[in-house]
Structure 1
């Protein structure tokens, strides 16, 4: 692990809604695990509420949402709202999938972290999560 924490980084990887394409989420989960992170994969058809509740129960540093269904402008704002409601303000919300640049910028303006398109090198995702956690959850 390349982080300066004295503990592994914990990441929740989830698929929200009816999007049944989970290959990318499984590849990400495996890559994060191979990088020394503890990964909780919730599986398919999660609701935003289920994702945030699992993040709270598992005490994660980051939530990664894989979304290919086109529902990103509904899913991410709902998760952000629930995270704020449950005072989960020190956890990174990131993700990836097919998200147009304009939508990506709007989501980042409401508090979503970096959103990675298909084909992003795994090392970029791992480094981003490690740096964010070291800078924001260094305990």
Structure 2
């Protein structure tokens, strides 16, 4: 039997709105996942180092500040530098569709806007982690 899916939920930068991140963390826990919440005002370096230390399967970034085009590419690069090639980077927040496509082209997983059914997020994470574990 494999271990539970481990998810790191992060808030990067000065964005102080973490209600959505806490709601997602709660739903993921209820779905049987182990969740580590970094708290507010993290840097991309702090997030990737925590992911490495906690041996996570998923990094989920909640971002409402508009800094997504800076934050996600920086995290992707740090993940590559640290060899976290099998870790899923996903997230959600206020991100325009055109920006979501650009970020996904860089290697970011699916991004979820506010109001997304939490079951959709849970199913996505389960399916992605299952596929990565099989490879």
Shorter-chain TM-score bucket reads over 0.9
1:20/1:44 contact within 8 Å kept: yes
Counterparts of 1:36-115 in structure 2 under 5 Å? 36-115=32-111
1:61/1:137 contact within 8 Å kept: no
Equivalent-residue separation in structure 1 for 2:46 and 2:39 (angstroms): 11
Q: CA deviation at 1:6?
A: 2.2
Counterparts of 1:8-19 in structure 2 under 5 Å? 8-19=4-15
Which residue of 2 is the match for residue 32 of structure 1?
A: 28
Q: CA deviation at 1:111?
A: 0.2
Q: CA deviation at 1:137?
A: 2.0
1:15/1:44 contact within 8 Å kept: yes
Equivalent-residue separation in structure 2 for 1:137 and 1:17 (angstroms): 31
- Note the residue ranges of structure 1 that are not aligned, 5 or more in a row: none
Equivalent-residue separation in structure 1 for 2:61 and 2:38 (angstroms): 10
Q: CA deviation at 1:7?
A: 1.6
SS state at 1:17 partner: coil
Which aligned runs of 4 or more in structure 1 are off by greater than 4 angstroms?
none
- Note the residue ranges of structure 2 that are not aligned, 5 or more in a row: none
After superposition, the C-alpha distances for 1:13-72 in whole angstroms (9 at most, x for unaligned) are: 000000000000000000000000000000000000000000000000000000000000
Q: Please, which of 122, 125, 129 is the counterpart of residue 125 of structure 2?
A: 129
1:49/1:82 contact within 8 Å kept: yes
- Taking only aligned residues, the RMSD between alpha carbons, in angstroms, comes to 1.0
Number of matched pairs: 135
